[in-house]
Structures are given as C-alpha cells and as structure tokens.
Amino acid sequence: MQSLSPELVRFAETHVPSLEDLRVLVLFVEGRDRWFDASGIARALTMSRTTARSVLDHLARHNLLDIRVTGDVRYRFRPGTADLEAQATALVHTYRRNPLKVLHLLG
C-alpha cells in the first residue's frame, strides 16, 4: 500500500484532528457550493449540534470555510488558498479510495 505524501499527512494532522472533522470536511468537499449550518450538519451526519458547531468553528479558523451570517451562521467550502483547497480535496479523495489509510492518521 502506497503511503500518504508528507504534505497530506501534515494537512491532516493540522486541519483534521478527529473523525468528526473528517466527516464534516467530506460533506463540504463533496457539496462544495452548498451552504450548511450547524443544525444541517448535525442532521446530515447524526452528530450533536454542539459537536457540529465545534467542528465548523475549527475548520473556519483553519481557513477552509467561507462564512455567511443570515438568520444563522452558514458555512461553505471555500479555502483561503489554492494549496489548502488542493490538500483538502486530496485528503477526501484518498479517504474515499482507502478510508483506513486516512483513519489511521486520526487514531
């Protein structure tokens, strides 16, 4: 089995420290133009709203999400740099091809 690139390992360790972060990132990358709020994330991924809010705050602090304030705070996948976008997309694609390889980083 081919190992992950050092850049991808660094990205995962820095930006995606937990399974919950990974699950939310996957949802954002695969629905990249869609806006989500904490309640919608919680429903879609069957997690608590508190957990969803915490993960959204973490991903936003790491410059991976665009934020819009309406009746609620909404987020969408819009990394601040092309490199962040490429690494996030690569991590999700790797996870879809070989989940255990990525989950091993989180564990």
The alpha carbon dihedral of 27, 32, 34, 36 has a sign of positive
Burial of 55-89, coded b for 16+ CB within 10 Å and e otherwise, reads bbebbeebebbeeeeeeeebbebebeeeebbebbb
pLDDT number for residue 2: 62
- Write out the chain's pLDDT in tens, 107 residues: 468 899 999 999 999 999 999 999 999 999 999 999 999 999 999 999 999 999 999 999 999 999 999 888 999 999 999 999 999 999 999 999 999 999 988 86
Q: 6-101 has which fold?
A: Arc Repressor Mutant, subunit A (1.10.10)
Separation of alpha carbons 97 and 57, rounded Å? 27
CB-hemisphere CA count at 13 Å for 34?
12
Query: What distance in Å separates the CA atoms of residue 20 and residue 80, rounded to the nearest whole number?
Result: 21
